[in-house]
Amino acid sequence: MISGSPSPTSKTELVGDHVARRLAEHEWQAGHLKVRTLPAQAMLSADTSDPAIGEALERVSRADGVVLATPTYKASYSGLLKVFLDLLPQYGFTGKAVLPLATGGSAAHVLVLDYALRPVVHSLGARHVVQGFFLLDKHMERVGGALRILPESAEALDDVIEKFRKALIPS
């Protein structure tokens, strides 16, 4: 799980936690890399020798699959996620299944998945890109430190997670 929200109170990060828990229910180890916690100067200067950046890139390298979660800003994915993706090797997703997820306030931004994020994921060499999912802000509510997905999106998100889980097993 890689989340690209710059906000420490992000619902996008909570979506990432939710997906990681769901994958763990099926005995997949699922870590959550919150890009905002990485050292900004090292990221902006593409300093892959920085220990935190190196560890983050190594985690991606070892993963069988990657879930990308991003808030939608100006009809695209976050700049923070873009900076991190730019640090990956040219084919950093080779052999991996990838699930793109986006959150936002309006369904008008749903195309962020297919027209902004999907091409980058393909250029990184993903083995399989699962159909992404756009989660409306109004379909999520914070309950304590957790996220409750409202019924309008819960079943569809569960279906996408299941498709990703199946894609993790190469044919």
pLDDT confidence of residue 81: 98
For residue 96, the model assigns a pLDDT of 97
Whole-model pTM: value is: 0.95
- Which CATH entry fits the domain spanning 2-167: 3.40.50.360, 1.10.3210.10, 3.40.50.880, 3.40.50.1970? 3.40.50.360
For residue 127, the model assigns a pLDDT of 94
Domain definitions of the chain by residue range: 2-167
pLDDT digit string, tens, across residues 133-160: 999 999 999 988 889 999 999 999 999 9
pLDDT mean across residues, the chain: 94
pLDDT digits (tens, 9 = 90+) for 98-107: 999 999 999 8
Residue 171 has pLDDT above 70, yes or no: no
In this predicted model, what pLDDT tens digit does every residue of 10-65 receive, in sequence order?
999 999 999 999 999 887 889 999 999 999 999 999 999 999 999 999 999 999 99
pLDDT of the residue at 157: 97
User: Is residue 69's pLDDT more than 80?
Assistant: yes
Query: CA-to-CA distance for 17 and 114, rounded, in angstroms?
Result: 23
Using a CB cutoff of 8 Å and minimum separation of 24, what contacts does 26-31 make? Answer: 26/165, 28/165, 28/168, 30/1, 31/1, 31/59
Enter the DSSP assignment of 115: I
pLDDT for residue 170 is more than 90 = no
The b/e string for 121-142 (b: 16+ C-beta within 10 A; e otherwise) is beebbbebbbebbbbbeebbee
Compute the distance between CA of residue 108 and CA of residue 121 in angstroms, rounded to an integer.
22
Select from 151, 155, 111, 153 the least CA-distant residue to 132. 111
Average pLDDT of span 79-94? 97
Structure confidence at residue 75 (pLDDT): 86
